[in-house]
């Protein structure tokens, strides 16, 4: 008699898409596996975000699990997000509130209110803060936009790093001291800092941060530095800082990749290459988007924007199971790689708490519906979440 699939297995073909074929071929041998899969499936259907397994507990002996958080979350005004953050994560990165345009809106005017709230929130909940960031070419205060004097830029540079980093010395676990300073070919990106302060401005930024915040770890953060040319530039940058006798504790590979195009071989080579420099390796802004961008590449340059129609927003209503499968496997494969190098990888941070929060809904095309994270718009765990949890079983 042919074996009929139970009705529950038809509810979510994502997990069981190949079971029917398996049963048909060797039903008797596969019965134990089928029962196990059914048990897993039934259990996952019952789980909500609040009673799901905890990422920070599952990977407690491996690396920190972080998320980027926004202002309502820092102020605990988003109850659903607040519960999830406290349950799932042991590290947070402020998405925007410690960037220069917000924290220093005027020449000698600082706004520390939200950053202070972040530090207090993290301390209350035993969460480590990765402060983001001190020096970046983007999101600068308005008064910097037309600054022509090298002396004025130097004064801002020293004052900003010293004032901000010293205020949170020992209160934040780490700083992204310099963010996104490299071009895709590994050369230094054109910026007001490079133009006015010269090639050594990154070394000087770390020197100032080291003095102002001796009790916090100091990192360089960038996207696409897993790619060979940009990786080479990042390695040279780290070596230059080290040769100057200045402290750099780690490097952050952002990890803005498409779920169907994760560069696993390049990522592995980068972990090995950066670890060989004696520094920590982190994945600092991880999201695996499911939408293409107009340039069909993995850039994460916030200034690169475009227009697009319905064809560039194919999953406005829901994400097909076939795409969920691709994303779930990609996340599982990534975490397998992170675990392989857990002696070198110290943190994995997702860039957002759930899909609704993701910056990819409005970049590079505004108003799209992307699904790049482990929790959906209702804060429920997605198949990608379970694929990550399962690799530790």
C-alpha–C-alpha distance, residues 250 and 229, integer Å: 19
Per the annotation, the verdict on 285 as an active-site residue is yes
Catalytic residue among 180, 226, 280, 324: 180
C-alpha–C-alpha distance, residues 3 and 99, integer Å: 59
Helix-strand-coil percent breakdown of the chain, rounded to 5? 45, 15, 40
Say if residues 110 and 163 touch (Cβ distance below 8 Å). Answer: yes
Q: What DSSP string runs through 29-73? A: HHHHHHHHHHHHHHHHHH--TTTSPPHHHHTTTT-EEEEEE-HHH
Distances (CA, A) of 244 to 2, 126, 200, 207, 237: 72, 35, 10, 9, 11
Catalytic residue among 95, 204, 285, 324: 285
Both tokens of 241, joined, read 């800082």
Residues in the chain: 393
Per the annotation, the verdict on 101 as an active-site residue is no
Would you please indicate which residues are annotated as catalytic (active-site) residues? 180, 285
């Amino acid at each position: 008699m042919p074996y009929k699939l139970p009705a529950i297995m038809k509810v979510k073909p994502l997990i069981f898409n190949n079971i029917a074929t398996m049963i048909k071929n060797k039903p008797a041998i596969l019965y134990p596996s089928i029962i196990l899969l059914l048990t897993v499936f039934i259990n996952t259907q019952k789980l909500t975000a609040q009673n799901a397994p905890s990422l920070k507990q599952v990977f407690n002996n491996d690396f920190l699990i972080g998320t980027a958080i926004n202002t309502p979350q820092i102020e605990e005004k988003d109850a659903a997000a607040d519960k999830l953050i406290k349950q799932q994560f042991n590290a947070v990165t402020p998405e925007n509130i410690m960037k220069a345009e917000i924290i220093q809106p005027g020449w000698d005017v600082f706004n520390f209110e939200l950053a202070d709230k972040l530090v207090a929130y993290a301390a209350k909940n035993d969460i480590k803060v990765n402060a983001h960031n001190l020096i970046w070419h983007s999101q600068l205060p308005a008064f910097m936009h037309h600054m022509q004097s090298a002396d004025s830029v130097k004064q801002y540079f020293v004052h900003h790093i010293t004032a901000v980093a010293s205020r949170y010395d020992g209160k934040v676990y780490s700083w992204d001291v310099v963010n996104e300073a490299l071009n895709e070919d590994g050369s230094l990106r054109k910026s007001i800092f490079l133009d006015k302060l010269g090639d050594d401005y990154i070394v000087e930024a770390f020197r100032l941060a080291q003095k102002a915040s001796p009790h916090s770890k100091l990192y360089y953060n960038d996207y696409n530095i897993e790619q060979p040319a940009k990786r080479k530039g990042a390695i040279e940058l780290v070596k230059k800082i080290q040769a100057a006798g200045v402290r750099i504790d780690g490097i952050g590979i952002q990890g803005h990749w498409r779920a169907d195009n994760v560069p696993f071989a390049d990522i592995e080579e980068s972990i090995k290459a950066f670890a060989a420099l004696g520094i920590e390796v982190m994945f600092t802004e991880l999201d695996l988007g499911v939408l293409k961008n107009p340039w069909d590449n993995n850039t994460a340059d916030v200034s690169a924007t475009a227009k697009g129609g319905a064809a560039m927003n194919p999953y406005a209503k829901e994400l097909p199971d076939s795409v969920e499968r691709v994303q779930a496997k990609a996340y599982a494969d990534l975490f397998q790689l992170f675990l392989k190098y857990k002696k070198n990888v110290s943190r994995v941070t997702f860039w957002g708490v759930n899909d609704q929060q993701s910056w990819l809904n409005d970049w590079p095309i505004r108003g799209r519906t992307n699904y790049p994270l482990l929790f959906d718009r209702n804060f429920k765990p997605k198949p990608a979440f379970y694929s990550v949890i399962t690799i530790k079983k």
